[in-house]
Structure 1
Amino acid sequence: MTPAATSTEPLDERKFVVALARGLDLLRAFRPGETMLGNRDFVERTGLPKATVNRLAYTLTVLGYLRLDESVGKYALDVGVLSLGFALLSGTDTLELARPHMRTFAREVGAAVSLGCRDGLDMIYLDTIRSETALTLGLAPGSKLSMLTSSMGRAYLAVQPADVRDALLAELKKAAGKGATALVADAMKEIAGFAKERCCYSFRAWHDDVNAVAVPFREPRDKRWLVLSCSGPASSMGEDVFRERVAPRLKALARRLGDAG
């Protein structure tokens, strides 16, 4: 199984701990809104043998990262995962700096604004601020979206070195399965436009009634790439709204938070 690493460095197999990676794959198998998964779910989503899944799930349960509900024979994420999440969020200075600006942005634009980073082949939301005055769509912290269909993922891909981006696109195409060629083509169109636009769009790509735009920037301290995105109902916020009103403001906010490249 090829690891979907978050680093852009080449994989050094001499240092790579396969057992640890497989254990983390089990934790990543949970999707937004899911509370319980069984061994069969883990096998299907990770591709690992059932015996391996049994051992990993037992170990993660002993360590406090999974909790077994014996009445249904399924596992839930336990407090160990929550502790790691809080440690990440509390250690992200940029998130604390960004929140008041995101609140102002969401209120003025009447949409949802989010901050995220890469997690394997997905983008994970670190925080989302929703407008209080309009019906907006915004995913909660911890939610994930594919790099291929989300504006956030496309923006992240756009600023990666060519060899890293090509490798990621190959993995994404393989993971997407049916319809992958069209998805990659749509993503590449937005990525190609980044040089001129300095942002990437997603118009009804991951949801029939969601339009979005995203802008990447580097954290001043850690130099990792984060991505700001803004999303809203396509029925009331058309493409022109995002291109002419939302995108310029989002790019300005990204420049305030870090190096937008």
Structure 2
Amino acid sequence: MTSDSIRNFASPDALDERKFVVALARGLELLRAFRPGEVLLGNRDFADRTGLPKATVNRLAYTLTTLGYLRFDEAAGKYALDTGVLSLGFALLAGADTLELARPHMRELAREIGAAVSLGCRDGLDMIYLETIRSETALTLGLAPGSRLSMLTSSMGRAYLAVQEPAARAALLAELSAAAGADGAALVQAAEGAIEDFARDGCCYSFRDWHEDVNAIAAPFRDVRNGRWLVLSSSGPASSMGEAMFREVIAPKLRALAARLA
């Protein structure tokens, strides 16, 4: 695991390298290599996505398989996530009081506005969905729990950025720009525009930025139980749910729900 990868999960100022266990971090990075919808990954996939040498990948994959976090598929010659990961995920969700509190309110809001309502948090340089409630009255979009979003192009990521302290936000934007490559500067500029929206509206928007036919809005709130920022978002097809609906109809409702959950 490179020093850049480590900084994706903790700021350089917060990282105490004397206490940081690099081997453990590398093993967890292998588990993070799986993306939503993927079942099997091989050693080459792990090496490409983590930047780790193949010999290191082999040892880590063997260890994680022995401990029940990975399962080796003999026929395919690749690895799948095993029940150890599932048990950790269930333990997290079972202990998430805020998530249990939020679900009925999210369901009510999704029904009222006819759009998907989601709850997410930061994971490295991405945002990850913890829950999505789809409208029962209309065909709406909505990613499944565990799905990841770009912090720069998603309304959820922009809302998270908007509530960070200026110095921390600037450092994070620099990391995001570097990770985005040639498009980094333009993406950061768009995100900064959304942060200005937050100062005015208390919400951040993503109008066809994350996907060409998706409009979305997000509002952050502080989870006092766990001391972290969570973000509520709502999304729908841009072809049938225009910017005005998100700014004028959904924004006040989403802000009110975020305030209630905080």
Q: What is the TM-score of this pair, normalised by structure 2?
A: 0.96
**Structure 2 match to 1:154:** 158
**Structure 1 match to 2:98:** 94
Q: Within 2, Cα distance between the matches of 1:105 and 1:156?
A: 21
Is 2:252 the partner of 1:248? yes
**Structure 2 match to 1:34:** 38
Is 2:134 the partner of 1:135? no
Where do 4+ consecutive residues of structure 1 move more than 6 Å? none
Is 2:198 the partner of 1:194? yes
Unaligned runs of 5+ in 1: none
Q: How far off its partner does 1:9 sit?
A: 6.3
Which amino acid letter does the alignment assign opposite residue 115 of structure 1?
L
**Structure 2 match to 1:45:** 49
Q: What's the secondary structure of 1:11's corresponding residue?
A: coil
Q: What's the secondary structure of 1:178's corresponding residue?
A: helix
**Structure 2 match to 1:163:** 167
Q: Within 1, Cα distance between the matches of 2:133 and 2:140?
A: 10
Q: Within 2, Cα distance between the matches of 1:223 and 1:256?
A: 16
Moved more, 209-218 or 173-182: 173-182
Q: Within 2, Cα distance between the matches of 1:204 and 1:50?
A: 39
Q: What's the secondary structure of 1:202's corresponding residue?
A: strand
Q: Within 1, Cα distance between the matches of 2:18 and 2:131?
A: 35
- Match runs of 1:171-250 below 5 Å: 171-250=175-254
Is 2:83 the partner of 1:79? yes
Is 2:24 the partner of 1:24? no
Q: How far off its partner does 1:114 sit?
A: 0.4
Aligned-residue RMSD, C-alpha: 1.3
**Structure 2 match to 1:109:** 113
**Structure 1 match to 2:60:** 56
Q: What's the secondary structure of 1:145's corresponding residue?
A: strand
Q: What's the secondary structure of 2:182's corresponding residue?
A: coil
Which amino acid letter does the alignment assign opposite residue 224 of structure 2?
P
Q: Within 2, Cα distance between the matches of 1:8 and 1:220?
A: 25
Structure 1 contact 6–118 (Cα < 8 Å) conserved: no
Q: What is the TM-score of this pair, normalised by structure 1?
A: 0.96
Q: How far off its partner does 1:179 sit?
A: 1.4
Q: Identity over the aligned pairs, expressed in percent?
A: 75
Q: Within 2, Cα distance between the matches of 1:190 and 1:126?
A: 23
Structure 1 contact 219–225 (Cα < 8 Å) conserved: yes
Q: How far off its partner does 1:192 sit?
A: 2.5
Pair 1:173–1:7, CA change in 2 (3 A): closer
Unaligned runs of 5+ in 2: none
Q: CA offsets, 1:192-232, max 9 Å, x none?
A: 22211111101111111110000000113222110000000
Q: How far off its partner does 1:236 sit?
A: 0.3
Structure 1 contact 6–119 (Cα < 8 Å) conserved: no
Q: How far off its partner does 1:7 sit?
A: 7.2
Which amino acid letter does the alignment assign opposite residue 92 of structure 1?
A
